[in-house]
Structure 1
Amino acid sequence: MKMKVVILAGGFGTRISEESHLKPKPMIEIGEKPILWHIMKIYSYYGFNEFIICLGYKSHMIKEFFADYYLHTSDVTIDLETNELKIHNNYAEPWKVTLVDTGLNTMTGGRIKRIKPYLPKDEPFMLTYGDGVCDVDLNELLEYHKNHGKLATITAINLDARFGVLRIDDENTITQFSEKSKADGGWINGGFMVLEPEVIDYITDDTTIFEKAPLENLAHDGELKSYKHRGFWKCMDTKRDHDALEKMWNEDNAPWYIWKE
């Protein structure tokens, strides 16, 4: 399947500053692999292998990770005298990765608008954040999106209210999107979205925060649907979140590890 997967990986990660002052948040590792890699493995498991990664803060580190990926996953012999490199065996991911510098201070909506030239004009694309893992069935999510015919689908998670709170009617249409409400409980924006190209028309410029006017206006227009996911989801928002994910991985109890053989 050639559908593009857009991953927002350009933020500063200020709430996990213990590590993000050294590297971009999506490069913080779980089980010796960046969380960005884990997210891409989830998509790849369902056959989505074409990625557009929106870069910003310390973008060179993400570029270098992919530029060196083949070497890092190979057994090699290096002849230092002749500077020859011999590859013995390699396991490479079936990924095509487009890395786009979307600006250091660009907001989430602005980053999406900047990668418009890399997106097909007439088919939907996936979108998620570079810091959250989930065991959502992406094929079911896509099928649900195609069947309801609206412009946008958000994977809704029933969790606490640190994130955008969704008001959902009986037909799973999101009637109101409120970013980071202080209300207790409720369905929240878990990322793992499917969007039609027209969604980009709701974004004004680099200063547009996607979770504010664009999603609020999509909800107002009746074009925003929820796909309710009652399984595992966790965002690596703080060091405590990271430590919890690392513990799950080390204890072989990581629900997002769906590609496990």
Structure 2
Amino acid sequence: MPPLFSAPAVILAGGYGTRLDSSRDQPKPLTEIGGEPLLWHVIRLLGSQGMAEFYIALGFGSAAIKRFFLENDSFRHDGPADLEADEITVFSTTPFESTIHLVETGMETNTGGRIKRLAPFLRDKKQFLMTYADSLANIELPNLHAFHEAHGKLATVTAVRPPERFGRLVIEGDTVVRFNEKKPADNEWINGGFFMLHPDVLEYIDGDSTAWEQEPVVRLTEEGQLKCYHHHGFWACLDTQKEKNQFEALWKSGSCPWKLW
């Protein structure tokens, strides 16, 4: 499939993922769903809709992530398989043509700092998509892209409804008299990732310690440069073993919502 638009994708894949038990031994992006790493699912989701260039921002467990791409027959690379290299580029022709840049962005670097470290690759782009390596959705990227193009601001965040993680207890004394699964309020939305960004947002990031979700997003909001794309479909983030099991069950169900390919 030819690219639907020329924007590259930045995937943040350097965090520790301390709430997921398996992440103690491996980086969370390599947590397997249906026998394939979570990162593979994110790339497949984006690539199946025409995205062809990816920058994976590495940190914790970077060698293991590099090893996955270098040892997987679905990808080829030029040059020696040097796990210590700051950047490795791999290529795929199946099921779609893509170029994947594996870039070291520091063990302790925060989310904004990881994006900033990719500035040399992004400054000359018209725009780029940024998302996380632990979230999946049945988002339609052409619609997100069209929305971003139409409003002309520097940034678009995809807003999603929060998952029903916690139950609400109705208590009398020390007795639970009713247990209700928590339903999000009608006006309750959260950051679902899948940002469309103009390269000028790089100037809003001070350095490695900057969390993208804090100072940069606050400044963009105050300056009227952040628009919101509402996604009403499926979205989920994998943080815990319970959520891993839920992802696995969806994949095996035969009607996996993020499997758009």
Same fold (TM > 0.5): yes
**What secondary structure sits across from 2:126 in the alignment?**
coil
Measured at CA, do residues 114 and 72 of structure 1 come closer, stay the same or move farther in structure 2, by a change above 3 Å? closer
Residue 55 (structure 1) shift: 0.2
Could you tell me which of 13, 16, 29 is aligned with 2:17?
13
Residue 239 (structure 1) shift: 1.1
Deviations 1:117-147 (A, max 9, x none): 1114241000000000000110110010000
Could you tell me which of 247, 257, 260 is aligned with 1:258?
260
Deviations 1:182-218 (A, max 9, x none): xx74110000110000111100010000000000111
For these two proteins, the number of residue pairs brought into alignment is 221
Partners in 2 of 1:8 and 1:110 — Cα distance? 10
Partners in 1 of 2:141 and 2:74 — Cα distance? 30
Match status 1:239 vs 2:241: yes
**What secondary structure sits across from 2:19 in the alignment?**
helix
Q: Superposed, which structure 2 residues align to 1:1-261 within 5 Å? A: 1=3, 2-16=6-20, 18-70=21-73, 91=94, 93-159=96-162, 185=185, 186-259=188-261
Contact 2:113–2:209, Cα closer than 8 Å, also in 1:
yes
Deviations 1:67-88 (A, max 9, x none): 1222689xxxxxxxxxxxxxxx
Contact 1:70–1:92, Cα closer than 8 Å, also in 2:
no
- RMSD over aligned Cα atoms: 1.9
Measured at CA, do residues 120 and 204 of structure 1 come closer, stay the same or move farther in structure 2, by a change above 3 Å? closer
Tell me what 1:85 maps to: none
Give the residue type in structure 2 aligned to 1:11.
G
Give the residue type in structure 2 aligned to 1:70.
D
Contact 1:161–1:188, Cα closer than 8 Å, also in 2:
no
Partners in 2 of 1:69 and 1:238 — Cα distance? 27
Measured at CA, do residues 32 and 160 of structure 1 come closer, stay the same or move farther in structure 2, by a change above 3 Å? closer
**What secondary structure sits across from 2:190 in the alignment?**
strand
Deviations 1:30-72 (A, max 9, x none): 0000011111111111110100000000101111111122268
Contact 2:163–2:236, Cα closer than 8 Å, also in 1:
no
Measured at CA, do residues 128 and 256 of structure 1 come closer, stay the same or move farther in structure 2, by a change above 3 Å? same
Partners in 1 of 2:146 and 2:248 — Cα distance? 32
Deviations 1:129-170 (A, max 9, x none): 0000000110110010000000000110022599xxxxxxxx
If the length of structure 2 is used for normalisation, what is the TM-score?
0.81
Percent identity between matched residues is 42
Moved over 3 A (4+): 90-93
Partners in 2 of 1:63 and 1:191 — Cα distance? 23
Partners in 2 of 1:128 and 1:156 — Cα distance? 12
Measured at CA, do residues 242 and 227 of structure 1 come closer, stay the same or move farther in structure 2, by a change above 3 Å? same
Partners in 1 of 2:145 and 2:214 — Cα distance? 24
Contact 2:48–2:96, Cα closer than 8 Å, also in 1:
no
Partners in 1 of 2:139 and 2:232 — Cα distance? 9
Residue 253 (structure 1) shift: 2.6
Partners in 2 of 1:105 and 1:70 — Cα distance? 31
Contact 2:7–2:125, Cα closer than 8 Å, also in 1:
no
**What secondary structure sits across from 1:13 in the alignment?**
coil
